[in-house]
Amino acid sequence: MKSSRISSWPKLSALAKQLRPRRIESLFDDDADRVGEFSIDAAGLYLDYSKNLIDRAALRLLVELAHECALAERIERLFRGDRINVTEGRAVLHTALRDPQDDVRVDGQPVAGDIRAVQAKMRTLVEAVCSGRWTGFRGDRITDVVNIGIGGSHLGPLLACDALRYDAASGLRVHFCSNVDGGDIDRTLTGLDPATTLFIVASKSFTTPETALNANSARRWLLAAAGDEAATAKHFLAISAHPAKAAAFGIPADNVLPMWDWVGGRYSLWSAIGLPIAFALGMHGFERLLAGAAAMDRHFRSAPFERNMPVLFALVGIWNTNFLGAESFAVVPYDDRLFQLPAYLQQLEMESNGKRVTLANRPVKVATAPILWGGLGTNVQHAFFQLLHQGTRLIPVDFILAMTHQRSPREHHDMLVANCIAQAEALMCGRQRAELDDGTPAEPGIDLPLHRETPGNQPSNMLILESLTPETLGALLALYEHKTYVQGVIWGINSFDQWGVELGKKLAGKLLAEMGGGTREKHDGSTSALLERYLRSRG
Ligand code: F6P
């Protein structure tokens, strides 16, 4: 963000100063149509952002800010396949995966044909495995699929399989293993039969050490039962942008599904990385997920900013972060099926926008990605909600709720919905001490109403899905992806690299070499002492 050239920025700061002392609920008194004005429907989702400390003037200025940051052109560049990931020299085309268009090209080459070819291969594989035509080393049909991957090669498929568990039509059990902690692969494999288990090694780079180690352990487990290297071909698939590396691991070329450099890891569930989803739901279910995301893409690309859900969602986030000073926000789905959503969004938003340098090679002068955290309602009402109600920080909340739930009896769903809506109301309205001065006896010297007071004025968004389906989940994830991109554009950063994660990986590699008896490196005192302590206890 080149703030000096952005005239809306100081105006927004001035407006925020005026609005800060206001009560959010009082803004409803000023504006009879506030809910109509501060809400939007798109791609099967409804977003009510009226419970934010924002008014029409601020929203107009935020839209002006988006125009000043050339957002319209930046959206076009994303969809067109320009190399907008400039620090890695790559295009960013997760949108093409959901609706491959013949005019989208990378380096002059159309990508639609490649995308369709990989989807056809996914379909063939899913049919072969689900029909029982694909058999294991003993001739048995496959009953269990284990995805081995981490980060973007794990979180999206895990979220989708968990969220859409009631749409699982294939009968296959799909499992996930990501952590290098040996307990993870142990837990995953316990109870599985090597003869009926199919592994997917999912790694865009095929160099991620955690994935490589887990894949090796899985292969050892398989070969201990099969007793023949040839079993690998019947039990291992790979997904990678570097198929040669998968071949070097011993996975036959026919079993490798390609992806491309122009799909970012955290944006990759729409590519062949989504294979576990297709195994769980059937290919048609996966295509429904793509279709939901594509509907949000079309809306994002064509709607004017004033009626554009991802743009407005992003701008409200910018307002809360940069003008009201929120340092974090909580994502709270009131839906057990969305348990994995906060973790998925943490990678999406924080790996994308946890940046400090602009595209113009300058330090960013404003706060970038806020800390994203969260958990499931109603559970978290009995955990961290106390801090939202009476803590000292401004913490906006994204509530997410499905209006209907085919597996939840009416009395459960009524209670869930009542709690979700009530929490948003309580966070906004609070309860002032005057209302609490009911003469309840307290210890001498204790001003009980003061302790019981909840100040309110915590902003929130309410995201409503009619029901959680592959389509609405696709639209929801695309909404957050586009929100992330819009915010990156406003902050002037590259949302598509992740150089920050490299140093830790490199240092872990060095320490591992030292543990293996390699030359001792120079470390700080604490690091050396920790290494010594581990080596002593390892014996
Ligand atoms: O360490 C970060 C990261 O590169 C993520 O961006 C990525 O999703 C994850 O590691 C896994 O990478 P890969 O798919 O190449 O194994």
Q: What is the pLDDT of residues 477-496, one digit of tens each?
A: 999 999 999 999 999 999 99
Question: pLDDT, tens digit, for every residue of 444-469?
Answer: 999 999 999 999 999 999 999 999 99
- Kindly give the distance from the C-alpha atom of residue 379 to the centroid of ligand 1, in angstroms, as a whole number: 31
Q: Quick check: CB of 498 below 6 Å from ligand 1?
A: yes
Query: 105-286 — its CATH code?
Result: 3.40.50.10490
Q: Which residues have a catalytic role annotated? A: 351, 382, 505
The token pair at 186 is: 């142990």
Percent of all residues in the chain with a pLDDT value above 90, rounded to a whole number: 96
- The CATH superfamily assigned to 3-68+303-434+447-491 is Glucose-6-phosphate isomerase like protein; domain 1 (3.40.50.10490)
- The Cα–Cα gap between 78 and 91 comes to 8
Total-model pTM = 0.97
- Averaged pLDDT, 386-407: 98
DSSP 375: -
Burial of 252 (0-12, 13-18, 19+ CB in 10 A): middle
Question: pLDDT, tens digit, for every residue of 95-152?
Answer: 999 999 999 999 999 999 999 999 999 999 999 999 999 999 999 999 999 999 999 9
Q: Quick check: CB of 430 below 6 Å from ligand 1?
A: no
Q: Examine domains 3-68+303-434+447-491 and 105-286 and report if their fold is the same.
A: yes
Summarize the chain as % helix, strand, coil (round to 5). 55, 15, 35
Question: Quick check: 2 pLDDT over 60?
Answer: no
Pocket test for ligand 1, best of 180, 204, 242, 484 (most atoms within 8 A of CB): 204
Question: pLDDT, tens digit, for every residue of 377-392?
Answer: 999 999 999 999 999 9
Residue/partner pairs of 417-426 with CB below 8 Å, 24 or more apart: 417/334, 419/334, 419/377, 419/378, 419/381, 420/334, 420/377, 420/378, 420/462, 421/462, 423/332, 423/377, 423/381, 423/385, 423/397, 423/399, 424/51, 424/397, 424/399, 424/460, 424/462, 426/389, 426/454, 426/456
Question: Quick check: 364 pLDDT over 70?
Answer: yes
CA-211 nearest atom, ligand 1? 16
pLDDT at 1: 59
DSSP for 188-247 reads HHTT--GGGEEEEEE-SSS--HHHHHHHHHHHHHHHHHH-STTHHHHHEEEEES-HHHHH
pLDDT at 4: 55
The token pair at 204 is: 């865009």
pLDDT at 441: 83
Q: Quick check: CB of 204 below 6 Å from ligand 1?
A: yes
Question: Quick check: 263 pLDDT over 60?
Answer: yes
Helix (H, G, I), strand (E, B) or coil at 401: strand
> Which helix or strand (DSSP H or E) is residue 388 part of?
helix 385-390
pLDDT at 5: 72
Measure Cα distances from 471 to 270, 292, 295, 466, 480 in Å. Answer: 13, 4, 9, 11, 15
Could you tell me the sign of the dihedral formed by the alpha carbons of 79, 82, 85, 91, in that order? Answer: positive
pLDDT at 434: 87
Which protein residue's CA is at the shortest distance from atom 8 of ligand 1? Answer: 152
Domain boundaries, given as residue ranges, for the chain = 3-68+303-434+447-491, 105-286, 500-538
**What is the chain's mean pLDDT, rounded?**
97
At 439, the pLDDT band (50, 70, 90 cuts) reads confident
Q: Quick check: CB of 501 below 6 Å from ligand 1?
A: yes
- Averaged pLDDT, 171-190: 98
Question: pLDDT, tens digit, for every residue of 10-42?
Answer: 999 999 999 999 999 999 999 999 999 999 999
pLDDT at 361: 98
